[in-house]
Chains A and B, each alone.
Chain A
Amino acid sequence: MTETQRVTSAAETHTDRAAVRTDEVWKVFLQGPEEVQAVRGVTLAIERGEFVAMAGPSGSGKTTLLNLIGGLTRPSRGHAWVAGHDVAGMSGRDLAHMRLQQVGFVFQAYNLLPVLTAFENAELPLLMLGVEEAERRKRVHELFERTGLTGLEDRRPGKLSGGQQQRVAIIRAVASRPALVLADEPTANLDSATSASLLDMMEELNRETYTTFVFATHDPQVMERARRLIRLVDGQVDSDESQQRGARRATDGSPIEPEAAPEIDR
């Protein structure tokens, strides 16, 4: 059994409905002689299909908590489960397989590979997953069409605008149909119109594919759109509220209530 298969089967046998759970999770860094407690005993659960924003001032621990949830870093104490996998006990190799199969990332600086074209960047996780070429092309072309990027497939990131690059990054994050998409300040470098259109796109994907979206953000627009807002202060959860505002304020006016979870076809 390969590592990929091993991680997949572990996920499939887990009965937890939560996309993400943390239990008294801490992250402590050493900054010179000083100990910095970036995340302090956070316990939370995010169900599949949720559209969640984590907000808070700089240094509140948003990005660190997002990294813990995405398995980019291991907790100093406590546990974090992603799709049933406890990231605290996983090797670097297993974490990589888990990220490949379960998590999509969207970054503030887009982080597309400059040597690959927009299409190649978008299909990268599919290629790593071993998805057949015909299927890869179908999925990526569909997403390019939906996001208005058709015709830009062969452009390198340097030849795309910020908004176009972030669209490609979102396609890259969702093309493999992960259970969870983590977005760290995805709208920070974009104007409000571009941000709104990208948020529309993510809300639509959330509604249609039941993909869980978790944002770390300062952007009021993202906070308004989110159906759950977790406020962090000094590495701790200050408030955790479900809100209906997002549904009312969607730009196309459609309701954004999660539907029944569809079967995810990988």
Chain B
Amino acid sequence: MERSRLMMTLAFRNLRRQARRSLLTAAAMVIGGGLLIFSVSLGDGTHEDWIESGVRMGSGHIAIQAPKYAVSRKIEDRLGAASLRAVHEGTRSPGVAESVLEVVPRLTTGGLASSPTGARPVEVVGADPVAEARFSTLDERAVEGRYLEPDDRLAAYIGAELAEGLELRLGSRMVLTAQDAEGEISGQLVRVVGIFGTGIPEVDQRIVHIPLQTAGAWLGAEGAVTTVAVLVDKSRAVRRTARLLEDELAAPIAAGDLAVLTWQEAMPELDAVVKVDDLGNYMFQGITFGIIALAIVNTILMSVLYRHREFGVLQALGFTPGQTGTLVMAEGVVLTVLSGLLGIGLGLFVTWFFWRDGLDISFTWQEDWTFSGVVLDPVIVPLFRAARVIQGLLFILFVGTVASLYPAYRATRIDVAEAMKFER
């Protein structure tokens, strides 16, 4: 204990002794630590935004489907009334319900939309107007008309590019054609009540929303759905909620009636984009901290070389080589941890500053940026996560320890008799 206190005293005083050098290195670490926390928070905020946008436009944080539907996308791979009841009970069960924000049923199939002008391939979504309006942001994207309402029967809400391609306007009629539950080709006449524009070409060209009941009756699948999309309160709760749902739905899953997919499984492209972006961030931070680590190595190594004689004296007095190395390690780790903590504090302050109103980067954009059905929001709101702070601190500690290893090793290798001759 006394020896540890001595080591810490020596470490602190030696850092203070080379105040300018220590402060310069600490400044690099403070900036690096601040940048680490802010960039990670910004990245997490961006990803949360992408995921939120993606899951609301797509199949939710968790999608419950017939096992083959994800591949076949055919109405024959649908959830029947019994599976649907089980799903509704499962989503209301304790543990699951507390994380679930919204549950929407959808009957989706591929088909053809025709007007007197021509025909286009489309994805027809039979949706519950009330639940869908709460779940999706599509209703907010109306450029003309309105979204579906509960009393609608033969209404359609279509994308702007599809409307343009088929020369459709509000009130125009069009025919939807698709394979029904019996495998027969079946048509349904609908009238355009709203046109939306998301800025995402694949959505604006292909998506057609019609009332769920209309779709069920047209396709001979009344009371059935192809997907139950579940929205949870935060993306980090997805895996846990999905596991709980799998436990609740163990019987129909075992019977091969349904499967529970997380958004990562249902939307692998979005998952890949998030992972690639994370990797880019980690590489950037790795390079930044690599440079900072070199500064620490330089500071501590210079200190070791400058104090060659002093380490010789310590060993002559009875310090073991290991204790001499530990002293050098202590200096590196103390410098890193103190400045790292300050840096994390700085990062948290900057994160808090931009968390209030978000960071608006729209001035760098020419037009809307989209990918994989996701519209990028130019106002990024950083996301604070305690786990990231702990990870940051551990990372900084790791960098400090690794950077101090070589100088510490050099200190252990001192030839005591030679060191005593060393003149500064």
Contact = CB atoms under 8 A, between A and B. Distances in A.
B321 A92 contact: yes
Interface in A96-140: 96-97, 99-101, 105, 107, 111, 113-116, 120, 124-125, 127-130, 133
Interface residues of B, number: 26
A130 B2 contact: yes
Contacts of A111: 309-310, 313, 420
A127 B319 contact: no
Contact of B420 (A92, A101, A107, A114): A107
B318 A73 contact: no
Contacts of B319: 96, 128
Contacts of A96: 315, 318-321, 323
A60 to B, nearest CB: 16
Given A73-B417, A111-B309, A125 B317 contact: yes
Given A72-B420, A113-B313, A116-B13, A92 B2 contact: no
Interface of A is mostly: helix
A67 interface: yes
Contact of B316 (A72, A92, A115): A72
A246 to B, nearest CB: 27
A93 B320 contact: yes
B360 interface: no
Contacts of B323: 96
B167 interface: no
B13 to A, nearest CB: 4
Contact of B2 (A72, A100, A116, A127): A127
A93 B326 CA distance: 14
A115 B13 contact: yes
Interface string B296-334: 000000000000011001111111111100000000000
Contact of A114 (B17, B314, B320, B322): B17
Interface string A60-91: 00001001001011000000000000000000
Interface of B: 2-3, 6, 9-10, 13-14, 16-17, 309-310, 313-323, 415-417, 420
Given A99-B316, A116-B13, 15 more contacts: A72-B416, A73-B417, A97-B320, A99-B318, A105-B317, A107-B420, A111-B310, A113-B10, A113-B314, A115-B10, A124-B6, A128-B318, A129-B318, A130-B2, A133-B2
Pairs A-B, 10 closest by C-beta atoms: A100-B318, A115-B13, A73-B417, A96-B320, A111-B313, A67-B417, A72-B417, A72-B416, A93-B320, A99-B318
